[in-house]
Amino acid sequence: MNKTKLSPIVAGVMNWGIWDKNLNTKEMENMINVCLENKITTFDHADIYGDYTTEADFGKAFTASKIAREKMQLISKCGIQMVTENRNNTIKHYEYSKEYIIWSVENSLKNLQTDYLDVLLLHRPSPLMQADEIAEAVLKLKSDGKINDFGLSNFTSSQTELIRQKTEVLYNQVQFSATSFEPMVDGSFDYMQTNKIRPMSWNPLGSVFREDIPQTRRLKKLLATLVSKYHLGSDSILLSWILKHPAQVIPIAGTVNVARIQSLMKAVELELDNEDWFAIWTASMGDDVA
C-alpha cells in the first residue's frame, strides 16, 4: 500500500547538476519553485547523479528555499558504484548488501538535507543481489522512518518477482516512450498491473527530438498534425500518449526550460483520441497493428 502520492509527472533532476546544466544554488531553488508552482511536486534523484554531487546541490537549494518538506516528494536510487574521484572504485559495479543500502540512504538523506525519502529505488539489477538481504534493509529503513515506499528501476518482471517475494515493491522505473515501447509489448506492464506496481518512465520523449531516422521523421510528421488538432506542443502530446496507458505510468521529465515545465501538466488534462494514440504507435513501428 502506497504511503506516498506522487505528482502525475515527476521532475527528473539528473541534468540539473554538473552532468549538464550546472545550475547554481539560486537557479536550482528557482527550478524547485517553478516545478511546485506547476503542480510538479515530486523530484527524482539518484545518488550517482553529478558523480555523487547533485543530491547535495539540491539539498542546499531545498534548504535555502524554506519550502515545507511535506509539500514535495523525494525519490532517490542507490546501488550503482561508479568510478569517480568521489568513490574508491576501480570498476563500475553494483552493491546491494544490507549495510550498503542503509548507508547509501543515510548518505542521500544527509545530502538532500531531509529526514526521509518518499521512495527508494534500487537503480539497476545485479546478478549478485540477495533478495533476503535487500528485504532486511528495506524493513530497517521503513521501521526507522527513513523511507516510506520502496521500488526498483530497470528490473525485468522476473527480477522484480524475486524481490517482491521478500518485500513489497510499489514502483519500477523503466525506459518507456513512443520510440521505446517494449515494456508495453513484452509483458512488463501486464506484470506490473497484475501486481499493483506503478511504472515510472525515464526518457519519456524518447529519441523523437534527438535522432533523425525514419522512425522519428514519421513521428514528427504526425505530431505536426496533432499539434494543430489539440493546440498543444509535441512534448505534451507524447506525454499524454504515455499517460493514456492503463498501467498508470508516471513520466519523469528532465527539462529545465521554464516554458516547457509550465506546459507539462497540460498533458495530464489531455485525453488523446484512441485513433490518435494508435497513430503514434503505428508511426513509431512503421507498420499497422496486426
Per the annotation, the verdict on 49 as an active-site residue is: yes
| Residue 192 in grid coordinates | 506490473
Interatomic CA distance for residues 70 and 72, integer angstroms: 5
Q: Does any domain span residue 2?
A: no
> For residue 83, is pLDDT > 90?
yes
For position 2, what pLDDT does the model report?
73
Candidates 71, 165, 79, 63; CA nearest to 114 is 63
Q: Does any domain span residue 280?
A: no
Distance in Å from the first CA to the final CA of the chain: 37
What mean pLDDT comes out for the span 186-213?
97
Number of domains in the chain: 1
Interatomic CA distance for residues 127 and 273, integer angstroms: 42
Give the pTM. Answer: 0.97
CA–chain centroid gap for 88, Å, is 27
Q: Residues 49, 96, 171, 191: which is the catalytic one?
A: 49
Distance of CA 212 to CAs 69, 207, 239, 255, Å? 42, 9, 20, 20
What mean pLDDT comes out for the span 125-136?
98
Q: Which domain holds residue 113?
A: 10-175
Average model confidence (pLDDT) across the chain? 97
> For residue 284, is pLDDT > 90?
yes
Q: Does any domain span residue 164?
A: yes
Neighbour tally for 242: CB within 10 Å: 23
Q: Does any domain span residue 109?
A: yes
> For residue 183, is pLDDT > 90?
yes
> For residue 66, is pLDDT > 80?
yes
What mean pLDDT comes out for the span 191-215?
97
Q: Does any domain span residue 270?
A: no
Q: What is the CATH number of the domain that holds 118?
A: 3.20.20.100
> For residue 3, is pLDDT > 80?
no
> For residue 1, is pLDDT > 80?
no
Interatomic CA distance for residues 127 and 56, integer angstroms: 30
For position 234, what pLDDT does the model report?
96
Neighbour tally for 62: CB within 10 Å: 21
